[in-house]
Amino acid sequence: MFGAPSMSAVASSVASCARASAARVPSRRGGYAARLGVGAKSARGASVVPAAFTPAGAKIAGVGMELPSQSLTNEDLAALVDTNDEWIRTRTGIGKRHVISGDESLTSLAAGAAKKALAMANVDAKDVDVIILATSSPDDAFGSACTVQAEIGASGALAYDLTAACSGFVVGLVNGVHFLRGGEYEHVLVIGADVLSRYVDWRDRGTCILFGDGAGACVLSKTTDPNDCCLLGFDMHSDGTGNGNLTSKFTSESQVCGTAKPTSESDGAASGVGSFANIAMNGQEVFKFAVRTVPDTLTKSLDKAGVSSEEIDHLVLHQANQRIIDGAAKKFGLGKEKVVSNIEKYGNTSAGSVPIAMAEAVLEGRIKQGDIVATAGFGAGLTWASAILRW
Ligand code: COA
89 lines ligand 1 (CB under 6 A): no
Q: Could you tell me if 297 and 268 lie in one domain?
A: no
Whether 328 has a pLDDT exceeding 80, the answer reads yes
Beta strand pairing call for 275-276 and 250-251: antiparallel
Q: Could you tell me if 331 and 265 lie in one domain?
A: no
CB 388 within 8 A of CB 233: yes
- Residue 8 maps to a domain: no
242 lines ligand 1 (CB under 6 A): no
CATH at 286 = 3.40.47.10
- Residue 1 maps to a domain: no
- Residues 239-290 pLDDT 10s: 999 999 999 999 876 544 555 555 666 666 666 678 899 999 999 999 999 9
Q: Could you tell me if 261 and 367 lie in one domain?
A: no
Q: Is 166 a catalytic residue?
A: yes
Write down how long the chain is: 391
Residue, of 162 and 22, whose pLDDT is higher: 162
Q: Among 152-156, 234-238, 241-245, 247-251, which stretch is predicted with the lowest mean pLDDT?
A: 247-251
Q: Is 245 a catalytic residue?
A: no
Q: Among 6-20, 180-194, 335-349, which stretch is predicted with the lowest mean pLDDT?
A: 6-20
Q: Could you tell me if 254 and 201 lie in one domain?
A: no
- Residue 15 maps to a domain: no
Beta strands in the chain (DSSP E): 57-66, 70-73, 96-99, 130-134, 158-162, 187-194, 214-223, 231-238, 246-247, 250-251, 275-276, 280-281, 314-317, 372-379, 383-390
Residue nearest to atom 2 of ligand 1 (CA): 83
- Residue 4 maps to a domain: no
* CB-neighbour burial class of residue 315 (10 A; exposed 0-12, middle 13-18, buried 19+): buried
* Structure confidence at residue 45 (pLDDT): 57
Q: Could you tell me if 125 and 271 lie in one domain?
A: no
Alpha-carbon gap, residue 332 to 372, rounded angstroms: 14
Cα–Cα nearest to 337, from 320, 312, 318, 356: 312
Q: Could you tell me if 200 and 174 lie in one domain?
A: yes
289 lines ligand 1 (CB under 6 A): no
Number of independent structural domains in the chain: 2
pLDDT band, residue 48 (cuts 50/70/90): low
Q: Could you tell me if 113 and 262 lie in one domain?
A: no
Cα–Cα nearest to 387, from 170, 238, 179, 178: 170
Mean pLDDT (whole number) for 4-25: 34
pTM: 0.87
Return the SS3 of 98. strand
**Orientation angle between helical segments 353-363 and 106-121, nearest 10 degrees:** 40
Residue from 146, 166, 208, 230 carrying the catalytic annotation: 166
321 lines ligand 1 (CB under 6 A): yes
- Residue 25 maps to a domain: no
Residue from 245, 318, 321, 342 carrying the catalytic annotation: 318
Q: 376: domain range?
A: 58-242+280-390
Residue, of 45 and 39, whose pLDDT is higher: 45
Q: Could you tell me if 134 and 204 lie in one domain?
A: yes
Alpha-carbon gap, residue 359 to 320, rounded angstroms: 17
Q: Could you tell me if 265 and 178 lie in one domain?
A: no
Beta strand pairing call for 187-194 and 130-134: parallel
- Residue 2 maps to a domain: no
Q: Is 237 a catalytic residue?
A: no
Q: Could you tell me if 297 and 362 lie in one domain?
A: yes
Q: Could you tell me if 272 and 287 lie in one domain?
A: no
- Residue 129 maps to a domain: yes
Q: Could you tell me if 263 and 288 lie in one domain?
A: no
- Residue 109 maps to a domain: yes
